[in-house]
Amino acid sequence: MMTSSNHQVWFASHLLRRNRASGSRGFSLIEAVLSIGLLSITILPLVLLQSQKAILSRTNYVESSRMLHMSYYTDEMDPDRPSYSSLFVDSSMNAGLSESGQVIPYVRKPDTANSDAFNRIIHFYQYQNATDSLTSPRSKVAFTHNAQEVRIRCGNTADFMDSAGLYWYGDAYTYDSTLKRPGYVTGSHSGVLGASPGIADIINTQDDALFQSYREASGAGNNIDYSFNVRNGAYTVKLYFAEVSAAVTGSAPNRRLIDIYIEGALQNSSGFSPFETTGGANRATYLIYDVTVSDNVLNISIRPNAGTGAGYFPRVSAIAVEKRAS
């Protein structure tokens, strides 16, 4: 049984034979039309096939690019990245991402209005060209990261991974209420960086490096202040200390005594001494306080106690803030 295509070919050939049998020279109009028709029947499937291949290739490229972006964005939202804090403040065009030799410009725009120290939202915008208007992205996607705990390695700007696999941000950023970035408060209570790397062994810890650095008040009567934008609720604050000064003896006048204020309230009834609490120098210790925040900002202030010796300013080695159930 003839198919429609076979029937068309037979019919065209039959007409051509009849036309040639009649003695006609050259191609008649009918022959020309039929020839074009035959070519169309032959070429059209090839054109459609190539078109389908092009569409499939483009679809695969788009999907590959989408997956590349998803992976890249997810990686950038990883709070264990050393550049996590700095990426959160970036809103410029980036052209460092490419797929199959094709540059894929993008912008990461922080949603600071709905973010805080624990909850970060970033909108990623993808563009056709790096010269495109920032208001005309080709696509966009939002990523959210929710942390349970935020940790700062005071006195050292380098990030740190401890023996338990926990990540500590370096003390490289000032507190910024607009960007919702946690950090030390600028001004007379910002303190200065200090370190005693020559003390190789800190007792009571497997993480010596965490206690070999510290932020210290910049002068007599000054505090060390840190702030965290948070949602109202219950939090646990952990403050880490080690007395690494050989001059401190635990006896007047060589005493370092500290008062801890959280949310404006004094937390210790008497001056806290890392040396006297642990029984000597180069010993790690920490204090834990459960607090409630009602103004969306957790404020921590480490101040000199009235009984501290001259020149022995407050110090702190690390701070960790954890969300807890009310």
* Final residue before a domain boundary, out of 27, 48, 73: 73
**Whole-number Å distance between alpha carbons of 84 and 61:** 29
* Final residue before a domain boundary, out of 29, 51, 73: 73
95, pLDDT greater than 50:
yes
Between residues 82 and 115, the one the model is more confident about: 115
Same domain, 165 and 288: yes
Q: Is 76 helix (H, G, I), strand (E, B) or coil?
A: helix
Same domain, 44 and 180: no
Same domain, 97 and 140: yes
* Final residue before a domain boundary, out of 73, 98, 119: 73
Q: Are 142 and 70 contacting, i.e. CB atoms less than 8 angstroms apart?
A: no
Same domain, 27 and 53: yes
**pLDDT of the residue at 49:** 61
Same domain, 212 and 274: yes
**Whole-number Å distance between alpha carbons of 73 and 108:** 9
171, pLDDT greater than 60:
yes
- For residue range 277-318, list pLDDT tens digits in order: 999 999 999 999 999 999 999 999 999 999 999 999 999 999
Residue-wise DSSP of 23-65: T--S--HHHHHHHHHHHHHHHHHHHHHHHHHHHHHHHHHHHHH
Q: Are 150 and 321 contacting, i.e. CB atoms less than 8 angstroms apart?
A: yes
pTM of the model: 0.76
* Domain assignment of residue 14, given as a range: 4-73
Mean pLDDT of the chain: 83
High-pLDDT (> 90) share of the chain, %: 48
Q: Are 234 and 284 contacting, i.e. CB atoms less than 8 angstroms apart?
A: no
Same domain, 193 and 131: no
Same domain, 92 and 186: no
Same domain, 96 and 46: no
- For residue range 210-268, list pLDDT tens digits in order: 999 999 999 999 999 999 999 999 999 999 999 999 999 989 899 999 999 999 999 99
The alpha carbon of 195 is separated from its chain's Cα centroid by a whole number of angstroms, namely 28
Same domain, 159 and 292: yes
**Cα separations in angstroms, 50 against 38, 46, 53, 180:** 19, 6, 5, 53
Between residues 13 and 30, the one the model is more confident about: 30
Same domain, 49 and 161: no
Determine whether 87 is exposed, middle or buried from the number of CB atoms within 10 Å of its CB (0-12, 13-18, 19+).
Answer: middle
CATH number at residue 309: 2.60.120.430
- The structural domain count of the chain equals 3
Same domain, 33 and 159: no
Between residues 123 and 198, the one the model is more confident about: 123
Same domain, 292 and 303: yes
